[in-house]
Homo-oligomer: A and B are copies of this chain.
Amino acid sequence: MLNETLTAAPRSCGDCPIQHRAVCARCDADELAQLDKMKYYRNFEAGQTLIWAGDRMEFVGSVVSGIATLTQTMEDGRTQMVGLLLPSDFVGRPGRGVAPYDVVATTDMVMCCFRMKPFEAMMEATPHISQRLLQMTLDELDAAREWMLVLGRKTAREKIASLLSIIARRNSTLHLEQPTGQIVFDLPLTRDAMADYLGLTLETVSRQVSALKRDGVIELEGKRHVTVPDFHRLLAEAGDDSDGGMLV
């Protein structure tokens, strides 16, 4: 399942489900103790906007469980999703006072928040955090560039296949499996959110999902539960390289 059963904050960092992938992954016991003093957990409900673009940011933090989206909006209302935040992903930018994007919870969420000021001070003092954050940011940059190819050059059908394969891949790496053969997962996004991510309309998303289903690339149970009988077939539909390509 994509939505972890965890809906409450972990008892301590030792129990934290994201301790090995989050921004604090490299911290030693001392450093974790320091972080503990500036951190607090917050719960958000599905649909809730965590941060509005233009707001003052008073915290940064990690997604502990649940899923959020980063979205950019033009004055005339056109929107483009620019990020999908899964457990262990980092929210906010040290040193920046104002949020550039809307951050919206698509499921119930738990966040581990750090007060901005002390966190920034700690980043100056201990290299472990900024080193880890650098790694994570470089990964996000790669993902963003991958997404630029999707937005700029792929057909609607390829876009849908790309999104499905990305969700499938992220989902299975969370569970430490290699994505091959049959894969099953739940879509964390509505058709509308998928359209925002893909630079399409929701009608086109719906049509192409139906087409992929008709052609046997995917199977649907309800609107959200997806079975991919052959992951390689899906990758081929996405226009992605035969297999490899993926930089982890």
- What residues make up the interface of A, taking CB atoms closer than 8 Å to B? 70, 72, 74-76, 78-80, 82-83, 93, 95-96, 98, 100-101, 123-124, 127, 130-131, 133-135, 137-138, 140-142, 144-149, 151-153, 198-199, 239, 241-242, 247
From known contacts A80-B153, A130-B127, A149-B82, infer whether A142 and B199 are also in contact, taking CB-CB under 8 Å: no
Q: Judge whether A72 and B130 touch: CB under 8 Å.
A: no
A101 and B142 alpha carbons, distance in the complex (Å): 10
Query: What B residues does A152 contact at CB under 8 A?
Result: 80, 151, 198-199
A153 and B74 alpha carbons, distance in the complex (Å): 9
A39 and B203 alpha carbons, distance in the complex (Å): 54
Q: Judge whether B153 and A148 touch: CB under 8 Å.
A: no
A134 and B139 alpha carbons, distance in the complex (Å): 12
Query: What B residues does A198 contact at CB under 8 A?
Result: 152
From known contacts A93-B138, A137-B138, A141-B140, infer whether A239 and B148 are also in contact, taking CB-CB under 8 Å: no
A149 and B78 alpha carbons, distance in the complex (Å): 9
Q: Judge whether A74 and B239 touch: CB under 8 Å.
A: yes
From known contacts A75-B241, A100-B247, A148-B148, infer whether A134 and B130 are also in contact, taking CB-CB under 8 Å: yes
Query: What B residues does A145 contact at CB under 8 A?
Result: 70, 72, 82-83, 100-101, 144
Query: What B residues does A96 contact at CB under 8 A?
Result: 247
Query: What B residues does A101 contact at CB under 8 A?
Result: 145
Q: Judge whether B78 and A148 touch: CB under 8 Å.
A: no
Query: What B residues does A137 contact at CB under 8 A?
Result: 134, 137-138, 141
